[in-house]
Amino acid sequence: FRLLEQIRLGKKDTVVGMIIRVFMVHGEKIPVELIEALKNKHDINMFRAYMYAFLGALLSKQGE
């Protein structure tokens, strides 16, 4: 829930740090698509849309 709140607040740096830490802890590479979404070239609304889509896909994957 902390990640969702940081996304909602538009705290890009915090969100990027949290996501990188999760992947590092699990010893996995960050997908190229996610790296693209994390770049600073997107406005805050597009960033939020990417992050919500990422989390939605992640949660649906866990439910399988």
**Whole-angstrom distance, CA of residue 23 vs CA of residue 28:** 5
pLDDT, residue 60, reads: 84
Average pLDDT, integer, range 10-26: 93
Q: pLDDT tier at 19 (50, 70, 90 boundaries)?
A: very high
Q: Which amino acid is at 10?
A: G
pLDDT, residue 63, reads: 66
Does the pTM exceed 0.85?
no
Phi, psi of 43 (to 5 degrees): -75, 170
pLDDT, residue 64, reads: 64
H or E element in which residue 38 lies: helix 32-38
Give the tens place of pLDDT for each residue, 24-60: 999 999 989 888 888 888 889 999 999 999 889 888 8
Tokens of 42: 């997107």
